[in-house]
Structures are given as structure tokens and as C-alpha cells.
């Protein structure tokens, strides 16, 4: 393992410190935790708090999406490990402005359990807390760490939509209703060229041969659905988009938001080439995304690979929400 780190057991505190100190105008650390909150608390006044979090290793998710117009706070667990209920509880308290707090949780058993426990703690303080569990990965049902589908890159669309609604003054109940409506419209699928190396483990989570790829790998190196020899970008695109089409039933009369997401070690050169193939594929279906992003948004440490998210914009207001300006490190 060759990494720019100091102590493998101390990567999260040092990383959170580095992030917050690099962007003091946007972020500050919640004392005694590895959670971050907006530096400008005024931007949260009178609004529902939107929080998220999970294991670290997915940077810039989640902390990179904290800021005006998006998340109020984010909790950074140990690498690929759920944050503890007490840390989540501290983030809920810090994010609450008397209007309640809404939690965006990715569907991993540890996250679901710990966010639930934190909710119970907060409710004893009379803070109203609601949540959504995001499970956008269509690759496999049930997997390592998960019952049901996994929560992956499409989660950032949920962050953005709910953050914008909160900024516009939506109530906790309205945000819950919105989250439930949005959820089934976000679908993601990935292909991996290599696995991530967790610093404390020191070796990759799985091995792929020099000419091998695996479709459907999760963001913690959970198994996918098929291994085969590396293929041209066009063919990878066709495999992933065909799966998304089977799930979302793409329709040229509908609007879509597209996210092409690098997993950490995949250069932008490859991401743009892949984007070109995705746009060609969609064009053949007479679909042109109404909103689009390409880059490293939900990574898996140093994994090489790429994911595609399609989000059907079933309500025109959602496109406005995606386009609303934010003040974050990474959106």
C-alpha cells in the first residue's frame, strides 16, 4: 500500500481537519466529533436541517455537500464504517433550528441502525427527526453490509433536491413527502476496474486481473453481478445503460438528470470519453439530459471505475432545485 497518509488508524480525523481548515469559509467541525456543519449558521436559521453521513472513503461525499442550499451537516464515520449514534446525535442537535431535522441515510445495515438510534436520542430532546433510506444501486438485491439495494452515487441528487427545498422553506413533513417521491426515480449502476484499498487493511478489497472488470460493484468493493475482460467504453456504456433502461423504462417524453461519477482513481480523460458514449446512447433514444454532472462525487477511496446515475425529473420543480446555486466545496 502506497498512500499519502500518516497513521492508517488516524486517517479520518486528519482528513476532516484538513477539509475544514482548507475551506473555513464554508465548513466548521462540530466540537468533539468528526462531523462538519455549515460555517455560516445564519444560512440555516428558520429552516429544516438536512443531514447525511456514513463511512468515510467516499470523498467529497458527504462533507463536500455541506453548505448553503444543500446539507446542513454531515457525519464522517471511520473508513467504510457507519458513524456512531452519538456523533450523529451531535450533528442533529447542531443542525436543528427548531424546525426539525431530516436525515439522508444510504442503505447499509450499520448506517440505518445508527441513524435510527440517533433519532431516538434526539427525540428524547424533543427534536423532530425524519429520514429517508436511499437505495439507488440497481446492480444487485442484497449484498455485503446490506439488505435490499445499496445506496450509492445517486444519493447526491437527494442531498441537492432536499437541500434546495429546505432552503426554500419547506417543512419537515413536506421534505419527507418530497424525499419519498424522489427516491424511486434515482437509479445508479457501476463498473469497477480495480478495488479500493482501506488504509487499515493495507490491500485491495478484491483482486481483478490486469484485463478484467466487474459490473455492479458497490462503493465498498461489494461484489457485483458479472466479471469479464475489459471492453471498449462504448460496450461498458451499453451494458450499464441497458440495465438502467430496464429499471427506469426510459422515455423520450420525460426529463432526466445524469451523473457520471468517477470512483477515485479514474481520470477525467476516461470520464469524459465515457460521458460521450453515454450521451450517444441516450441520443439514440432521443433523450438529452436536462441536467448533467461529470466528476468524482461518490468515490470508493482509490478504486478505478465509474458509475452512471439517471434521475427521472418527474416534477419540473426538481430541475429548478438542481439548478439552484449552492455554497459547498464539491457540488
The set of catalytic residues is 58, 220
Show the cell assigned to 278.
Answer: 453515454
Say how far apart CA 170 and CA 185 lie, in whole Å: 20
Closer by beta carbon to a second copy, 20 or else 95: 20
> How far apart, in Å, are the Cα atoms of 150 and each of 198, 200, 218, 311, 327?
19, 23, 7, 16, 28
Could you tell me the smallest distance in angstroms from the CB atom of residue 221 to a second copy? 14
Closer by beta carbon to a second copy, 18 or else 184: 18
Question: Is residue 140 within 8 Å of residue 119, measured between CB atoms?
Answer: no
Half-sphere exposure of 300 (CA within 13 A, CB side): 29
**Interface residue list for a second copy (CB under 8 A):** 2-7, 11, 14-19, 21-23, 56-57, 59-60, 64, 193-194, 210-211, 213, 230, 232-234, 236, 260, 264-277, 279, 292-294, 296, 299, 301-302, 304, 306
Could you tell me the smallest distance in angstroms from the CB atom of residue 227 to a second copy? 13
Rama region for 308: left / alpha / beta (φ>0; ψ in -120 to 50; rest): beta
Could you tell me the smallest distance in angstroms from the CB atom of residue 272 to a second copy? 4
Could you tell me the smallest distance in angstroms from the CB atom of residue 198 to a second copy? 10
Closer by beta carbon to a second copy, 97 or else 238: 238
Could you tell me the smallest distance in angstroms from the CB atom of residue 31 to a second copy? 17
Q: How far does CA 216 lie from the centroid of its chain?
A: 16
Closer by beta carbon to a second copy, 75 or else 260: 260
Closer by beta carbon to a second copy, 95 or else 213: 213
Say how far apart CA 104 and CA 221 lie, in whole Å: 22
Closer by beta carbon to a second copy, 28 or else 119: 28
Closer by beta carbon to a second copy, 2 or else 249: 2
* Parallel, antiparallel or unpaired: strands 305-312 and 186-192: antiparallel
Q: How far does CA 168 lie from the centroid of its chain?
A: 22
Could you tell me the smallest distance in angstroms from the CB atom of residue 304 to a second copy? 7
Show the cell assigned to 146.
Answer: 446490506
For every residue of 7-40, DSSP letters joined together read: -GGGHHHHHHHHHHHH-TTTEEEPTTSSEEEES-
Residue with cell 473508513: 79
Question: Is residue 66 within 8 Å of residue 73, measured between CB atoms?
Answer: yes
Peptide bond into 207 cis (omega under 30): no
Could you tell me the smallest distance in angstroms from the CB atom of residue 164 to a second copy? 18
Say how far apart CA 107 and CA 152 lie, in whole Å: 9
C-beta atoms surrounding 142 within 10 Å: 9
Amino acid at each position: 500500500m502506497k498512500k499519502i497518509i500518516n497513521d492508517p488508524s488516524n486517517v479520518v480525523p486528519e482528513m476532516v481537519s484538513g477539509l475544514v481548515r482548507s475551506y473555513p469559509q464554508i465548513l466548521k467541525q462540530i466540537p468533539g466529533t468528526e462531523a462538519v456543519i455549515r460555517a455560516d449558521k445564519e444560512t440555516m436559521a428558520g429552516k429544516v436541517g438536512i443531514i447525511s453521513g456514513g463511512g468515510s472513503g467516499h470523498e467529497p461525499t458527504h462533507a463536500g455537500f455541506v453548505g448553503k442550499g444543500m446539507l446542513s451537516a454531515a457525519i464522517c464515520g471511520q473508513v467504510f464504517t457507519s458513524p456512531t449514534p452519538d456523533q450523529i446525535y451531535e450533528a442533529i442537535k447542531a443542525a436543528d433550528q427548531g424546525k426539525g431535522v431530516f436525515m439522508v441515510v444510504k442503505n447499509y445495515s450499520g448506517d440505518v441502525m445508527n441513524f435510527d438510534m440517533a433519532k431516538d436520542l434526539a427525540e428524547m430532546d424533543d427534536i423532530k427527526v425524519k429520514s429517508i433510506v436511499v437505495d439507488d444501486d440497481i446492480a444487485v438485491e442484497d449484498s455485503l453490509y446490506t439488505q435490499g439495494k445499496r445506496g450509492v452515487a445517486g444519493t447526491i441528487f437527494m442531498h441537492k433536491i432536499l437541500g434546495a427545498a429546505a432552503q426554500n422553506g419547506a417543512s419537515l413533513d413536506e421534505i419527507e413527502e418530497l424525499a419519498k417521491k424522489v427516491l424511486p426515480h434515482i437509479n445508479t449502476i457501476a463498473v469497477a476496474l480495480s478495488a479500493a484499498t482501506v488504509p487499515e487493511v493495507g490491500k485491495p478489497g478484491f483482486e481483478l486481473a490486469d484485463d478484467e472488470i466487474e459490473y455492479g460493484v458497490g462503493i465498498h468493493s461489494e461484489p457485483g453481478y458479472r466479471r469479464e475482460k475489459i471492453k471498449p467504453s462504448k460496450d461498458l456504456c451499453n451494458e450499464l445503460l441497458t440495465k438502467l433502461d430496464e429499471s427506469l423504462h426510459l422515455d423520450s417524453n420525460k426529463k432526466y438528470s445524469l451523473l457520471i461519477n468517477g470512483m477515485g482513481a479514474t481520470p477525467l480523460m476516461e470520464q469524459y470519453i465515457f460521458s460521450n458514449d453515454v450521451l450517444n446512447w441516450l441520443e439514440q433514444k432521443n433523450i438529452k439530459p436536462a441536467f448533467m454532472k461529470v466528476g468524482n462525487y461518490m468515490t470508493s477511496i482509490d478504486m478505478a471505475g465509474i458509475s452512471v446515475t439517471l434521475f427521472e425529473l418527474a416534477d419540473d420543480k426538481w430541475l429548478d432545485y438542481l439548478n439552484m446555486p449552492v455554497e459547498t466545496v464539491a457540488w
